């Protein structure tokens, strides 16, 4: 029995986390879910969108699954997602981008893993106004944070038989901050002579991924670039509805989809749970539940290839409930075949 923190989130979060719980149960994995809430819905009760009870639960259980949480644009509280990463020092934002069989994309050969530094860069949120007509944001890049994210990327490559690590930066313009990141990456790469290393300027990297995606393997980069490049890759593999993610350090792991809370379709039974489900598969592997994770991923690929039970974002008309039921049916069929 696994004890896992569950943060349902808001918008479509409660609907898709319900689906994931049902699918994981159908896959034969026993979980004791500890449900805690964050976001705008808890402001009245706690006076903050991120109560300490949420952080305490993650620290205690070591593993969490988080639904999407709305971030106000231009005003209001800062991102709960960013706050969780920073308060728990979840310095790795891991976002695999692999084209699944049957996915709605014209590309064929994209299979990259993005390591995004999660705790600094522009996302530290140090901003101030300069008079009435200007604003200034401060970007922070440190040797410590750069070294540990680059080393995490190389360790992942080594463990998973990946052949190449590419550091992404803008050191041609930001010669001190991104220059530091680039130089640290070059230093760390010397400890892994068996793994090919190169570096790319971020704008060129985006073009390269669209034109020659098969040339890239593991990408590592500062915070903002990781956010942008991972969404670019999501577009190449079929959309945010197919893109999983995780936030990690040496002790804690919080798994989440890359997409947002989609409040426009909340409560309408239209949400696609696949991205969060694939994030949950990453979580299952983290918990050594390899068979269940593989069965779920194969079920998803079969459904995409068949093209009959898909939600609107994937070109179909199925409801969340219908897609969930179809995944469960295929997962159970695989279990029976194994038995």
Q: Where exactly are the structural domains of the chain?
A: 1-91+240-339, 106-237
Q: What is the dihedral of CA 71, 73, 76, 79, to 10 degrees?
A: 30
Among candidate residues 9, 35, 58, the one with its CA nearest the CA of residue 259: 9
CA atoms within 13 A on the CB side of 200: 19
pLDDT score at 339: 60
Cα(336)–Cα(299) distance, integer angstroms = 13
The answer to whether 1-91+240-339 and 106-237 have equal CATH topology is yes
3-state DSSP call for residue 241? helix
pLDDT at 125: 83
Strands 63-66 and 253-257 come out as parallel
| d(C-alpha 154, C-alpha 149), whole Å | 9
pLDDT of residue 260: 87
> What is residue 107's three-state secondary structure?
coil
Residues of the chain with pLDDT under 70: 71-78, 339
Under DSSP, the state recorded for 99 is P
User: Distance between CA atoms of 96 and 212, rounded to whole angstroms?
Assistant: 17
Beta bridge partners of 87: none
Q: Which of 66, 170, 182, 334 is catalytic?
A: 170
Q: Write the pLDDT tens digit of every residue in 53-96.
A: 999 999 999 999 999 988 665 445 567 888 899 899 999 999 99
CATH code of the domain made up of 106-237 = 3.40.718.10
311 token code pair: 């939600």
Which residues lie below 8 Å from residue 60, measured CB to CB, with a gap of 6+?
Answer: 5
> What pLDDT sits at residue 75?
47
Which of 198, 203, 212, 250 is flagged as catalytic?
A: 203
How many Cβ atoms sit within 10 Å of the Cβ of residue 47?
A: 8
- Whether 123 is catalytic is yes
Across 124-133, b (16+ Cβ under 10 Å) vs e yields eeeeeeeeee
Residue of 10, 91, 182, 227 marked catalytic: 227
Q: What are phi and psi of 279, to 5 degrees?
A: -65, -40
Instruction: Give the integer Cα–Cα distance in Å for 50 and 99.
Output: 34
Four-CA torsion 8, 9, 15, 16, nearest 10 degrees: -80
What's the burial of 308, exposed, middle or buried (CB within 10 Å: 0-12/13-18/19+)?
Answer: exposed
The catalytic position among 66, 91, 123, 225 is: 123
Distance CA 236, CA 61 (A): 35
Quick check: helix, strand or coil at residue 115?
strand
Residue with tokens 């898709």: 16
* 264 tagged catalytic: no
- Residues 166, 153: Cα–Cα separation, whole Å: 9
Burial 216-232 (b: 16+ CB within 10 A, else e): bbbbbbbbbbbbbbbbe
**CA nearest neighbour of 221 among 114, 119, 97, 148:** 114
178 included as an active-site residue: no
Q: For residue 40, what is the DSSP state?
A: G
Domain 1-91+240-339, CATH class in plain words: alpha beta
Residue 116: per-residue pLDDT: 97
pTM for the structure as a whole? 0.92
Beta bridge partner(s), residue 93: 116, 247
Residue 287: burial class (beta carbons within 10 Å; 0-12, 13-18, 19+): middle
pLDDT in tens, 200-211: 999 999 999 999
**Catalytic annotation on 227?**
yes
């Amino acid at each position: 029995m696994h004890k896992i923190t569950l943060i349902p989130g808001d918008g479509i979060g409660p609907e898709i986390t319900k689906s994931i719980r049902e699918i994981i149960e159908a896959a034969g994995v026993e979980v004791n879910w500890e449900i805690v809430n964050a976001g705008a819905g808890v402001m009245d009760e706690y006076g903050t969108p991120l109560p300490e009870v949420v952080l305490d639960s993650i620290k205690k259980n070591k593993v969490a699954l988080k639904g999407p949480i709305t971030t106000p644009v231009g005003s209001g509280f800062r991102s709960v997602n960013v706050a969780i990463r920073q308060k728990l020092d979840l310095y790795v934002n891991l976002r695999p981008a692999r084209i699944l069989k049957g996915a709605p994309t014209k590309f064929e050969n994209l299979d990259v893993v993005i390591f995004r530094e999660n705790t600094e860069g522009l996302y530290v949120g140090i901003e101030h106004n300069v008079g009435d007509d200007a604003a200034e944001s401060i970007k922070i890049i440190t040797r410590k944070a750069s070294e540990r994210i680059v080393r995490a990327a190389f360790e992942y490559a080594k463990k998973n038989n990946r052949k190449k690590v590419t550091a992404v930066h803008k050191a041609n313009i930001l010669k001190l901050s991104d220059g530091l990141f680039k130089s640290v990456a070059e230093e760390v790469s010397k400890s892994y002579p068996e793994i090919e290393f190169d570096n790319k300027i971020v704008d060129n990297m985006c073009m390269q991924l669209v034109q020659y995606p098969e040339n890239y393997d593991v990408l590592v980069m500062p915070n903002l670039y990781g956010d942008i490049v991972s969404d670019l890759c999501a577009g190449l593999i079929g959309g945010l509805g197919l893109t999983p993610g995780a936030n990690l350090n040496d002790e804690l792991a919080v798994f989440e989809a890359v997409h947002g809370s989609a409040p426009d379709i909340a409560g309408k039974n239209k949400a696609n749970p696949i991205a969060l489900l694939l994030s949950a598969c990453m979580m299952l592997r983290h918990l050594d539940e390899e068979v269940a994770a593989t069965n779920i991923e194969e079920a998803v690929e079969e459904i995409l290839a068949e093209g009959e039970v898909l939600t609107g974002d994937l070109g179909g008309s199925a409801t969340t409930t219908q897609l969930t039921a179809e995944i469960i049916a295929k997962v159970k069929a695989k279990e029976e075949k194994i038995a």
